[in-house]
Structure 1
């Protein structure tokens, strides 16, 4: 695996690839890699000649400076994992490389999807996400971008940005990878102590409860019950939402026809956890 720290160097490497290497897969990350990230590397390698991964803790998508300061950094372990997975290039830029002094950031028209859930509780977050993904896509110019479904809303936001900024790049969304006990793999899990790690399972339990109890009709009470369950287990809940899977429009009355997704974001002490599941039809 070739490690590159500068944009011009990465472009030179990619331009020198043999003409037969016509499909590049790209996996952007913020590091602290786990099997969820590595599953995307494997997915990219199945159909692409070259796989590029980036590790960059993007400051513009953090609306909480404390969260940015405490984001886990495990670069040596990350490099080892990527090497074993067969990644071809690792792009590892500094902040000044991606955000040169005096540069004006773009603004993206994201519409409704930016105003709800993560967008509501983390103002400016998705603008920051789009800024860096746009920059990275323009740099790498991959055939396909690979993202993980755990960040469900983020996938939708990036897809919307790409329709105008990068219409020729494909988007592939990989399944959420979970620990054996059901906890969604996340870099932030590294910040959980042993007690919190057990408590973290309440997130998937709340989502599974919604799956077990969902039925046609009003779903407001079900959301309240799931919220109360988490609050009673030590969480500060930002949201538990049942929404249309294709639009993230909240659903109050379900007709059993519209595909649904259940989403949650909640704090366990200082660590904010998110997860989601696609709700299967009943009956």
Structure 2
């Protein structure tokens, strides 16, 4: 595995690959890697000649400075995991490398409805920061394929909007959420949880399954309320949202219509750590 820290050096290497007709897959990460990331890398390795993984904890997507400061950094373990996964290229730029213009707000991306709901509502400015860094990385790497996890359901929709809006020549591949045996969605934030909280945090997935299994039996609002109760009873201190939405628009849904694809999404705090998860319902 080759490690690059500067845009120019990486661009030269990738251009030589493209000149030889090679295809490039890209997996953007903020480090603290786990088997969910490995699943993305494996898909990329299987479908492309070269896979690039980036590790960059992006300061512009954290609306809470304390959250940024607490984000786990495990670079030595990350490099070891990537080597075992047979990854080809690791890109580890500095903040100065990615933001030579500084961190002041850049021109806004038009994200429409997606920026006013769910993560957009509870983390103002988050998706602007995500788009800003992903756009920079895509411009540098110019991959044929981009790989992201379904756990970040709304973020995947935001990045697809970015790709479409700027007519970027890359295809977004969404990989199913990887889970622990308990059902807990794999996440770098799980590292901040105690063993007990990790076990209890699986309540989100179990609450989502409750809605899925009873979709045709009870009104959606009743299902949503019961799911929220199950999450709180498991030890979560606070729920930002548990909501059933249209799977394609993320518009909230109050009643089920046959044929409409639905997804349930939750964001909740346990031991002060904010976890998100989702589950397609039909």
Q: TM-score range by the shorter chain?
A: over 0.9
Counterpart residue number, 1:75: 75
Cα deviation 1:163-194 (Å, max 9, x = unaligned):
02243211111111111221111000000012
Please give the alpha-carbon distance, in whole angstroms, between the structure 2 residues aligned to 1:102 and 1:129: 16
Counterpart residue number, 2:48: 48
CA contact (8 A) 2:53 2:91 kept: yes
Counterpart residue number, 2:59: 59
Counterpart residue number, 2:34: 34
Q: Where does 1:54-133 land on structure 2 (aligned, <5 Å)?
A: 54-102=54-102, 105-133=106-134
TM-score of the two chains, using structure 2 as the length reference: 0.95
Say which is worse superposed, 210-219 or 140-149, in terms of deviation.
Answer: 210-219
**Which of 270, 278, 281 is equivalent to 1:279?**
281
With over 3 angstroms needed to count, the CA separation of the structure-2 counterparts of 1:151 and 1:102, relative to structure 1, is closer
Counterpart residue number, 2:214: 213
Please give the alpha-carbon distance, in whole angstroms, between the structure 2 residues aligned to 1:234 and 1:13: 49
Please give the alpha-carbon distance, in whole angstroms, between the structure 2 residues aligned to 1:18 and 1:277: 37
Counterpart residue number, 1:201: 202
The offset of 1:245, in angstroms, is 0.7
Please give the alpha-carbon distance, in whole angstroms, between the structure 1 residues aligned to 2:192 and 2:125: 24
The offset of 1:217, in angstroms, is 7.2
Counterpart residue number, 1:12: 12
- Runs of 5+ unmatched residues, structure 1: none
Number of aligned pairs? 280
Q: Where does 1:104-253 land on structure 2 (aligned, <5 Å)?
A: 105-215=106-216, 218-235=219-236, 236-253=238-255
The offset of 1:130, in angstroms, is 0.3
The offset of 1:102, in angstroms, is 4.4
Please give the alpha-carbon distance, in whole angstroms, between the structure 2 residues aligned to 1:93 and 1:188: 22
Cα deviation 1:50-97 (Å, max 9, x = unaligned):
100100000111011111111011111111111111111100011111
Please give the alpha-carbon distance, in whole angstroms, between the structure 1 residues aligned to 2:213 and 2:75: 40
Q: State the secondary structure of the residue aligned to 1:222.
A: helix
Please give the alpha-carbon distance, in whole angstroms, between the structure 2 residues aligned to 1:201 and 1:229: 11
Please give the alpha-carbon distance, in whole angstroms, between the structure 2 residues aligned to 1:102 and 1:181: 42
The offset of 1:234, in angstroms, is 2.3
TM-score of the two chains, using structure 1 as the length reference: 0.95
Counterpart residue number, 1:270: 272
Please give the alpha-carbon distance, in whole angstroms, between the structure 2 residues aligned to 1:192 and 1:102: 33
Please give the alpha-carbon distance, in whole angstroms, between the structure 2 residues aligned to 1:263 and 1:3: 36
Please give the alpha-carbon distance, in whole angstroms, between the structure 1 residues aligned to 2:21 and 2:40: 19
Please give the alpha-carbon distance, in whole angstroms, between the structure 2 residues aligned to 1:47 and 1:127: 30
CA contact (8 A) 1:149 1:173 kept: yes
Moved over 3 A (4+): 18-21, 101-104
Q: State the secondary structure of the residue aligned to 1:17.
A: helix
The offset of 1:21, in angstroms, is 4.1
Please give the alpha-carbon distance, in whole angstroms, between the structure 2 residues aligned to 1:143 and 1:51: 10
Please give the alpha-carbon distance, in whole angstroms, between the structure 1 residues aligned to 2:189 and 2:26: 22
CA contact (8 A) 1:54 1:91 kept: yes
With over 3 angstroms needed to count, the CA separation of the structure-2 counterparts of 1:142 and 1:152, relative to structure 1, is same
CA contact (8 A) 2:182 2:199 kept: no
The offset of 1:19, in angstroms, is 3.2
